[in-house]
Structure 1
Amino acid sequence: MNRLRDKVAIVTGASPNIGGTLAAGLAAEGARVLCTDLSKDVAEAAAARIRDRGGYALALAGDVTDPAHADEAVAMAVDAWGGIDVLVNNAVFFQQQGVLDMPYDDYRRQLEVILGGSFLFTRAVARSMIERGREGSIINVLSTAAWQGQPGNVGYSTGKSGLINFTRSVAMELARHGIRVNGFTPTATAPTDPEARRAMEDLLARPSTYRNDFAAQLPLGRLPTPDDYVGAVVFLASDESAMVTGTNITVDAGATAKYWPWTPHPEA
């Protein structure tokens, strides 16, 4: 498969769940991928996964809210492969709390990672693309929580919804340089990685005021896995989407399209 042959991509937040799977999916289509994460072990595991399958990948650990980290990632990709064609802003900080109980510093930190990290990496990558005359694709990972009101998850929902108009604004600004900027909306995801699955199970097991019945609400009857997201992101990264910018592709098993009182699988 060569839909991304000779393209260079940076993926932030390359965890074994969504980010690492997207990185591997881009590499499987021929891209050379720089995997970044706050954890050195996570970044290196994502890159090793790609190299084990015959692809090209590098790893870099750092905090997406640090401008120097964004610049370092760009420099590493340019030094190794000559430039950058694709950026996937996926780094996120999970902390499910509501407005009544979330400490302000934690709320601010969540926004800094989701919005600030996307700003810094988008700026650094776009500057590199423009300097080298490379038209490219920037993909911001959103969430169904960006489009709907989720109680008890105010920082995440606010950050992800902010990315919607960040995407539109930056898409308009960078259009004259041939750089496309789009959103990609996943939903609650069934992890395939054992560690990620345990983390989700722990999260769902925590006491909560707000009941979320995912299985009963999804029209297609199951949570997507990270692999279900790869096709949409590859499309946005590829030249096949040359006329697509400032918009969003949703892969959510029908969740956001569903009429709100309908329960498609009441016995689930």
Structure 2
Amino acid sequence: MAHGLGRAGASVAIWSRTASRNDAAVADLRAAGIDASSVACDTADEAGVEEAMARTLERHGKIDSLFANAGISDDAPFLDTSLEQWHHVMRTNLDGTFLCTRAVARHMVERGEGGSMVVVSSTISRYGGVGMAAYGTSKSGLVGLGRTLAVELARHKVRVNILIPGWTATAMNDYLRENEAFVRATTARTPARRWATPEEFHEVATFLAEPSLTFHTGNEVIVDGGYTVY
């Protein structure tokens, strides 16, 4: 998504806990001719998010769009899921998105020029998943957060939409793609008969950030190869 936005002319700021991964992402973006910077930030830490906002505004001057896509999964059978595991997932997936959207919304409302915020959920918000109680609940919660923000912030010209991606070949699910039976099952369940590639979200991100689409808010944009309707 950062590549798609950058190719459309955006400057990109990456927030992530790990400085080395940030540096690699920035180098990759800059190699493609994209103006990019990064801030090492735990998005679930309130003070860290405020510091990241200040540094990003100092570097870029303003924020026109936010993609809240930090997420983790800690799979475990429900009967064995500890409260610590539950809180660990919720802290990043829900608390982190709350803090980031709040910080950026405050900036956008203060500027008075509106903007676009995208909350990244998952197709698991539509169905259950074995061993994914915490992850599924957090991603369902993001749908509720996104809807609420869309209603509350519309008067300030801040658009909020929810991106619901299907099975996509990313580093987060490398361990799933190592299971051939799982890949066969999910591919067969997807009408497109394959998983998505990250590059297929370039234009999706650009569409969601497009400032001229001033009436597009509160929408759940599902990009899953037909998985949820099959």
Match of 1:181 in 2: 160
Q: Which residue of 2 aligns with 1:23?
A: 2
The farther-off stretch of 22-31 and 92-101 is 92-101
Corresponding residue number in structure 2 for 1:14: none
Contact 1:71 1:124 in 2 (8 A): yes
1:76 to 33, 49, 55: 55
Q: Does 1:127 align with 2:99?
A: no
Q: Partner of 1:239: helix, strand, or coil?
A: coil
Q: For structure 1, which runs of at least 5 residues remain unmatched after alignment?
A: 1-21, 259-268
Indicate if the aligned counterparts of 2:177 and 2:183 stay in contact, CA closer than 8 A: no
- Greater shift, 225-234 or 160-169, is seen at 225-234
Deviations 1:60-110 (A, max 9, x none): 112111011211221122112211110000001121123211111111110
1:213 aligns to 2:192 (yes or no): no
Structure 1's 201 and 235: CA in aligned 2 closer, same or farther, altered over 3 A?
closer
TM-score, normalised with respect to structure 1: 0.81
Cα–Cα, structure 1 residues 234 and 115, in superposed 2: closer, same or farther, change >3 Å? same
User: Which among 136, 143, 154 is matched to residue 122 of structure 2?
Assistant: 143
Aligned length: 229
The one-letter code sitting in structure 1 at the alignment partner of 2:214 is A
RMSD, aligned CA: 1.9
The separation in 2 between residues aligned to 1:109 and 1:147, in whole angstroms, is: 22
Distance 2:21 2:108 in 1: 27
Alpha-carbon offset, residue 239 of structure 1: 2.1
Identity of aligned residues (%): 36
Cross-structure match for 1:39: 18
Superimposed CA distance per residue, residues 154-173 of structure 1 (whole angstroms, 9 cap, x where no aligned partner): 11110000011100101111
What whole-Å deviation, never above 9, does each CA across 1:195-230 have from its counterpart, x for those lacking one?
A: x3xx64434557x9x998111111011111111122
Question: Secondary structure at the residue paired with 1:31?
Answer: coil
Distance, in Å, in 2 between the alignment partners of 1:115 and 1:93 is 10
Determine the structure 1 residue equivalent to 2:90.
111
Q: Which has the higher helix share?
A: 2
Residue 244 of structure 1 aligns to a residue whose secondary structure is coil
Ranges of 4+ aligned residues in structure 1 off by more than 2 Å: 199-206
Which amino acid in structure 2 is aligned with residue 50 of structure 1? L
User: AA paired with 1:245?
Assistant: T
1:133 deviates by 1.9
Higher alpha-carbon deviation: 83-92 or 45-54 = 45-54
Match of 1:233 among 205, 210, 223: 205
Q: Which runs of 5+ in 2 are unaligned?
A: none
Match of 2:175 among 199, 202, 207: 202
